[in-house]
Amino acid sequence: MTTSIRVLIADDQSMVRQGFTVLLNAEPGIEVVGQAVDGEDAIAQIAELAPDVVLMDIRMPGLGGIEATRRLTEPDGATVKVLVLTTFDLDEYVYEALRAGASGFLLKDASAEELAHAVRVVAAGDALLAPNITKRLIAEFSRVTAAAPRAPLKDRVGDLTERETEVLALIAQGLSNGEIATRLVVAEQTVKTHVGRILLKLGLRDRTQAAVFAFESGLVRPTAL
């Protein structure tokens, strides 16, 4: 038997929760196991229901999505993957949510197909950002930090090999493993190996955090995109 992906939806708007629940429950292999009205409620339900993915609204009364995400993705936190929801693709809080440990973000007006795809991608351990705006979003909200790289982060880049550094820079530019493999003329499995080593060496959760790290360490500049 195939195990369904267990999803928790955290949003203060009942219509959003109900709408996403209907859409996701209609998808094979996905089951909505709970709904939360704010961050505190989400954390409590995650502890009880153990979902694989939580769709987390950024802006909620009480404990918001960013702080809830930060608590859930702490080293001793839950293993749930967080996919943050927003109304605007350049929401100023999206970048902070990614820094807090979210595996990606999705616009609330996403289609049923996009929503299901996002849940499956994040549940599989990959990272996802809304199509076509990955580089624009990260560039927009990393200009200040990229202009003045933090020394400790810059030093950590030195732990990577030359090829790993090259792969990290391409991740930050929004390239997939297949696209990186084509660019470097290597096998896709080789790229996957490099990505795994990069995440391990830098202590990062996924590709999204790797992209953020690349900008904040100064490895990649927004002006280069």
Do 37 and 98 have their domain in common? yes
Q: How many domains does the chain have?
A: 2
Give the Cα separation of 165 and 59 in Å (integer): 35
With respect to residue 196, please indicate whether it lies within any of the assigned structural domains: yes
Summarize the confidence of residues 89-118 as an average pLDDT: 82
Do 27 and 99 have their domain in common? yes
Summarize the confidence of residues 147-157 as an average pLDDT: 61
**Total Cβ atoms within 10 A of residue 95:** 20
Reported as a pLDDT band with limits 50, 70 and 90, residue 172 is confident
What amino acid occupies position 175?
L
Q: Is 114 exposed, middle or buried (0-12, 13-18, 19+ CB in 10 A)?
A: middle
Q: Give the domain CATH number at 66.
A: 3.40.50.2300
Task: Supply the DSSP symbol for 223.
Answer: G
- Is the pLDDT at 196 greater than 90? The verdict is yes
Do 211 and 159 have their domain in common? yes
pTM for this predicted structure: 0.74
- Domain range for 36 is 5-128
Which pLDDT score, from 0 to 100, does residue 197 have? 95
Q: Give the domain CATH number at 178.
A: 1.10.10.10
Half-sphere exposure of 175 (CA within 13 A, CB side): 20
Q: Tell me the C-alpha to C-alpha distance, in Å, between residue 4 and each of 121, 122, 168.
A: 14, 14, 32
Which pLDDT score, from 0 to 100, does residue 157 have? 79
The answer to whether the CB of 117 falls within 8 A of the CB of 131 is: no
Under 8 Å CB-to-CB from 83, ≥6 apart: which residues? 53, 54, 55, 56, 102, 103, 104, 105, 106, 118, 119, 122, 128
Which pLDDT score, from 0 to 100, does residue 152 have? 55
